[in-house]
Amino acid sequence: MHIATCVWQEKAAPAGGMGGARVAGGGGGGEWGARAAAAAALGVAGRALNCAVSFVVFSALDVLDVVLCLAYKLADYAAEAEWRPCYCSAAADPRVAQQLPPKPKVVRLSAASPARLHLQLEDVSDTLYARPSLLADATRAGGDGVAPALTVSPAAIAALIREKTDRAPRQAPCWSDCDCKVCHAWSGTSPASLSHLYVHVQAPPAMPMAVETEDVVFIHGFISSSAFWTETVFPAFSPAARSRYRMFAVDLLGFGRSPKPAESLYTLREHVEMIERSVLRRYRLGSFHVVAHSLGSVLALALAVKYPAAVKSLTLLAPPYFPVPESEAESAAQYVMRRVAPRRVWPPIAFGASVACWYEHVSRTICLAICRHHRVWDRLFRIVTRNRVRSFLIEAFMCHTHNAAWHTLHNVVCGGAGRMGAYLDAVDRRLSCKVALFHGRDDELVPVGCTLAAGARVRRARVTVYERKDHITIVVGQERLFAAELEAIWSADQ
């Protein structure tokens, strides 16, 4: 409670209040002032060095991605006798200069994709096909750091979507993806398996007396799996919680043991519909609690807004909510992409996010090297650590395809940026459920300001910031503490 109280004071404090306190306290000693000036100068030099090195590195990656584009086209044709479409051609299409109509258009797909006969253009993020090079981006921004508004041609994007989806559904993996039983467990069974996610269910044991149970849906984050929950907080719940709550941890579409269809665009709508079909309707959930981490928070909010009367509580960990300024409203996805992936080599997690977000073919190469050969990496990891470290996080990190990760990152995190504010407003005004937000102070991937901004938008939300915790250790390493937090949220009177 002390941590949560501190957070609310931080949210309510004036923007200049803390800075004034620092200045007032620092006027005492010349030595302290000299050290502060030296530290400030060192910081400026470090940022300048980071910018310079980043410009060189990402300029080289711009060139490398073009080269890899051609290399993969040749490799795909040699291995599968067909060209695999990419988004490079859309970025160079002159029709992207045309204005997008005010009403969303609907793309009719072929009967080869029966599960997705209609797709709204608004479901597809423009960051998929409009990612200017570092030099071009700096030039177009005019040095003010603001990217130009982006308009696209519905005809051009519709043609690109049809090119990627107008093909018979295939269960065989791409040559550059892993085909092991873990990554491809959904294939080779029945067509019905394509329409359901893998769901880990932990149900209360049979009790001699009737006990009223409640349902909880757990949604993991980007390039993760249900193991993020089942290997951490699930074993940490008290016997009372295990006897009362039926818990569902899903592997999202394209991750873990869930289907990874090659023709899917992994839009926000598809992810939500798969959760509905695989959990809510399949297990007949009338009401439920939701717990979500990172990217899963976007899906959780969409689910809560769609089922406002069914959600009993909403718990979000490190929600990637980046408030979009009014000046950037026309290109919200582009703004969020620059916040999530700033194209900087430091810190390392920002470098990884930038490579994954900006470079389609470089990220595919990394996926080929890591995910395609995850069994080898897993064995090496176990040998190096002598089995002393549980490797569920690494296993979950490697069980996905590039197609799934690439589209989910853009269509859910970046593309969902413009909807996050509306979702939070709907939770604030239309839902009556309890809302709890958690974040790690040392999170370098999703800044703590994201949760503070979300908490300010949902006025009744309880916000907790854990000191010395990051994007993962907000749960891993303090499983019992967090399990107790969840039990308190679920058992509290509404």
Catalytic positions are: 220, 294, 443, 471
Q: How far apart are CA 433 and CA 86, in angstroms?
A: 42
Helices (H) and strands (E) in the chain, counts: 19, 9
Is 401:171 a contact under the CB 8 Å cutoff?
Answer: no
Residue 493, CA atoms < 13 Å, CB-side half-sphere? 0
Q: How far apart are CA 354 and CA 347, in angstroms?
A: 11
Question: Going edge to edge, which strands form the sheet with 311-317?
Answer: 199-202, 245-250, 214-219, 288-293, 311-317, 434-440, 462-466
Provide the 10 A C-beta neighbour count for residue 375.
14
Phi, psi of 86 (to 5 degrees): -130, 180
Element (H, E) at 169: none
Q: How far apart are CA 317 and CA 469, in angstroms?
A: 12
End-to-end CA distance of the chain: 19
Any bridge partners for residue 119, and if so which?
Answer: 107
Helix axes 348-358, 332-340, angle to 10 degrees: 140
Q: How far apart are CA 61 and CA 197, in angstroms?
A: 35
